[in-house]
A and B are shown apart, each in its own frame.
Chain A
Amino acid sequence: MPQVSMKVNGTERSGEIEGRTLLVEFLREGLKLTGTHVGCDTSQCGACVVHVNGKAVKACTMFAAEAEGAEVTTIEGIAGKDGTLSAVQQAFRDYHGLQCGFCTPGMVMSATALLEENPKPTESEVRHYLEGNLCRCTGYQNIVKAVMAASGQEVAPVAAE
């Protein structure tokens, strides 16, 4: 079986893969990083979003072999080493931006990427950026509030479009 090596959350990791092994399968099954979730098979739900070389990508729609030599960040690599939540994570908690938690890792990874590209997004920009991340519990309102709060902007009142 071919080998793949990549830096995951700052640590060099490698393992055996098949050609058809998806990045998300390598992370979840190979590296036991089960925070990255799989909610669909059509690239729509976004529960699997990770960062590859600093860009948000759907780990279910990329082969592990294509991440050879890449720097990958997963949800497990977002909080500080001492467990301190990132601004985005903290805001999700403060503004009740999650319920069952299944979409949450992908939401946090996408929101983190958004704020790196665009530190002060408008509410509309937040909604558009999270278009590829589905949540079934919250109705999105509190997720938008959380991202606005994480960017240091006023959150209330946040109205639906």
Chain B
Amino acid sequence: MYAFEIERPTELSAAVAALKDEGAQALGGGQTLIPSLKQRLAMPEKLVSLSAIDEIKGVTREGDALVVGGGATHGEIAAAAEEAGFRGLAMMARQIGDPAVRNRGTMGGSLANNDPSACYPSMALATGATIVTDRREIAAADFFQGLFATALEEGEIIVRIRIPVPAASSYQKFAQPASRFPLVGVFVARTGEGARVAVTGAGEDGVFRWSEAEEALSAGWSAEAVAGLSHPSEGLISDLHGTPAYRAHLIGVMTRRGVADAA
């Protein structure tokens, strides 16, 4: 790691102020950022740790929504989602990394990073979540803007994520065996506005929705409804772990599994 200073404010406003400094960068749970700092892939002058700010922590139920603090850890989220009967999110959070990683890594950090293979973006997109920051609210549909790119401005902090709990949901992750990141991950949700299917790990531009499957499932929620559908391979990631055609195939398989699981 290159040398940098580290600050650990206890108030959100202090963190926002600290992030105004040249070369300052926010540090969430650090489970992605710290390994990349070790590889010297980033060169911040100052890290502003968000780990001591109580107002971005915790998970609460507000009506039909689950409100997840930007600083809530995957472990806390898995437990809270389980209790709220939010199957898809519980499945997702308890499969991220490993227990020690889940005790540090946060939803806010993951969404802000928008890794094309991260799990949460598919959940946020499929549920129509709202990302609440220190200065505004951003709909998930507007939030994700390509690989590692989001609508967040410099120094903007994710305070909480408001997630409408779907009537039924599931997350199916086909893990790349070495990294345990999804080679393809599919989040399916039966919501008041119809069926939603969001795919992570596969798209060249990051997370996306599979509208053809959504239409079929909105007409009738069953694995049979999507049995005949296949996702085109155009625009899908090609790397040493899988071809676009392989990923396209997995999208179909994981979608059907998800629907069957959430039936």
Interface assignment of B38: CB less than 8 Å from any CB of chain A:
yes
Q: Which one of B6, B47, B51, B75 contacts A55 once the chains associate, using CB atoms below 8 Å? A: B75
A19-B6, A20-B37 known; A63 and B99 CB under 8 Å? no
Q: Count the B residues whose beta carbon is within 8 Å of the partner chain — how many?
A: 28
B residues 1-47 touching A (CB-CB < 8 Å) = 1-6, 8, 27, 30-31, 34-35, 37-39, 46-47
A41-B39, A66-B51 known; A61 and B31 CB under 8 Å? yes
A19-B5, A20-B3 known; A43 and B31 CB under 8 Å? yes
A43-B31, A65-B6 known; A58 and B51 CB under 8 Å? no
A20-B1, A42-B35 known; A58 and B100 CB under 8 Å? yes
Q: Count the A residues whose beta carbon is within 8 Å of the partner chain — how many?
A: 29
Interface assignment of B97: CB less than 8 Å from any CB of chain A:
yes
With A and B bound together, what is the CA distance between A66 and B46 in angstroms?
14
Cβ-defined contact, B30 with A19, below 8 A: no
Distance between A17 CB and nearest chain B CB, rounded to angstroms: 9
Cβ-defined contact, B30 with A62, below 8 A: yes
Closest residue on chain A to residue B49 by CB atoms: A66
A18-B3, A41-B38, A61-B30 known; A49 and B47 CB under 8 Å? no
Interface assignment of B104: CB less than 8 Å from any CB of chain A:
yes
Distance between A25 CB and nearest chain B CB, rounded to angstroms: 10
Cβ-defined contact, A129 with B99, below 8 A: yes
Distance between B167 CB and nearest chain A CB, rounded to angstroms: 28
List the interface of chain B (C-beta within 8 A of A).
1-6, 8, 27, 30-31, 34-35, 37-39, 46-47, 49, 51, 75, 97-101, 103-104, 180
The 22 listed contacts between A and B (C-beta, < 8 Å) are: A2-B6, A19-B5, A19-B6, A19-B47, A20-B1, A20-B6, A41-B39, A43-B31, A43-B34, A46-B100, A55-B75, A55-B103, A56-B99, A61-B30, A61-B35, A65-B6, A65-B8, A66-B49, A131-B99, A132-B97, A132-B100, A132-B101
List the interface of chain A (C-beta within 8 A of B).
2, 18-20, 22, 41-43, 46, 49, 52, 55-58, 60-63, 65-66, 68, 110, 113-114, 129, 131-133
